[in-house]
Amino acid sequence: MSFFSGKVVIVTGSSNGIGRGTAVLFAKHGAKVTITGRNAASLEETKKQCLQAGAKPDDILELIGEITDASFNESLITSTVQKFGNLDILVNNAGGSSVANTGKGILDIPLEEFDQMIDLNVRQVLRLSKLAVPHLEKTKGAIVNVSSITAALKLVPWPYYGASKASLDQVTVQMAGSLIKKGIRVNSVNPGPVLTNALVTAGATKDQQDTMFGGMSDSKTIPLGRIGVPDDIGKIILFFADRSQSEFLIGQILTADGGVMLKSAIFADA
């Protein structure tokens, strides 16, 4: 029997991409899953894939809403607990960037974009985690945050996005140190390039997204020789959430990028 059989999981941002792939993996392993996003049609597709993976209809809860809305955060937790009785795992996957000011220096971008990135990538994680803690404490559960390798890169085309993800990494560490006293484990996975619609959601065109991803699919950019897919990250999230496999990992920030961070700007062929 899988560790996740009967466990209750919330995966934010699960209407597409990494969130969808992760929700489907949890469903495949017997978990009861709350899926959430802003697009009803996309969320319905996630549910369909969860059912195809083996979930029962009563084991999937769909909630449509804006993750930065405080009242929706409250509803996300209370509705999950009301339906399933408890909460074992929170996956803070929802987040995003903005391509409106791509390539500009950090001081040339309006500060309003910084506020937007902090709200989307940090504040809602703190708020939702705080609401989840009383329930996770009862189950000795886990929180897995999804950050980004841009948190550690000095030069990215979206400075405020990178800054918000760096903040999220520190939030992960601080939460881990605090919440382990309650028996709750907190860790983070920081993906590199992954094939999702994230850039389109951020404001890019489909052609721009395809061009960017197409330019990454070689060993010069990604030593592994291919771009990531949602399952690559979802499997790591499940590993962090599985206490039987990763109980000794607390406050870890795991880079999952196919080797991107190994590349040297000085020694390109090293």
CA distances from 269 to 58, 124, 161, 207, 227 (A): 53, 41, 29, 30, 19
For residue 110, give the nearest of 118, 120, 101, 122 by alpha carbon: 101
pLDDT of 151: 94
Query: How many whole angstroms separate alpha carbon 195 and alpha carbon 213?
Result: 7
Q: Which of 26, 158, 160, 161 is catalytic?
A: 161
Let me know if 160 is a catalytic residue: no
Q: What is the pTM of this model?
A: 0.93
pLDDT at position 208 is 62
The Cα 190–Cα 180 span in angstroms is 21
For the chain, how many residues are written? Answer: 270
Count of CB atoms situated within 10 Å of the CB of 79: 16
pLDDT along the chain (270 residues), means of 10: 95 96 98 97 97 98 97 98 98 92 92 97 98 98 97 83 97 98 98 77 61 65 90 98 98 95 70
CATH architecture of 8-195+229-262: 3-Layer(aba) Sandwich (3.40)
- Nearest of 86, 87, 92, 82 to residue 36 by alpha carbon: 92
pLDDT at 214: 65
Say what the pLDDT of residue 200 is.
57
